[in-house]
Amino acid sequence: MSKNPQKGLEANLKKAPVVPVMVIENLKDAVPLARALVEGGLPVLEITLRTAAALECIKAIVNEVEGAIVGSGTVLDARQLKASEKAGCVFAVSPGCTDKLLKAAKDEKIALLPASASPSEAMKLLEHGYELQKFFPAEQKGGAPYLNSLSTVLPRIKFCPTGGITPALAPSYLKLANVITLGGSWMAPKAMVNEGKWDEIEKLAREAAGLRQR
């Protein structure tokens, strides 16, 4: 029996309408930032592997923030996938996908959310058992109207659109039948993080958590 490459992922993605996508540069910011987001009602967090501190930030959040469901982002290869699992992530997100990454995902317990940006890419991932996919970069690739057009031809696939989505645009995505949640960074702006404005970030998270699907 083949391994389900996305075991448990659907249940986690359904926990909130928005997954915060974070680029954390300083370890000291990781726990208070994550705590503000979780307390604001956004428990599913994606910490991108774009900084030297990312993996240490993930470990700190996993160990210290109650209720956080932590995933890694910008996962490009098998090494990063393995490192994400070792750090305590329950899921990993990639901005695209390669045959090598798909092969590596079969050997790890961590759930993978790979990205597609075209029907052909989506169909290839579906052949490998990936019914949950990231749609990236969402706005640049046609936004909500584009995703809506895929719902009838690829009804088995549910998407997490990410890229260029704002609070004003979010409802147009969340009303779609083939959108399970979406990724965004607006609830944790860099300036607020740098200034430690955790109360304000929690407020933004609460507003994002208040968005409702269909």
* One-letter amino acid of 123: M
70 by DSSP, 3-state: which?
strand
Angle between helices 54-64 and 78-87 in degrees, nearest 10: 30
Q: C-alpha angle with apex 120: 119 to 126, nearest 5 degrees?
A: 85
d(CA 94, CA 75): 5
The residues carrying an active-site annotation are: 46, 134
Pick the closest to residue 40 from 162, 171, 199, 150 (CA basis). Answer: 199
Q: How many other C-beta atoms lie within 10 A of the C-beta of residue 194?
A: 11
Structure tokens at 156: 């088995």
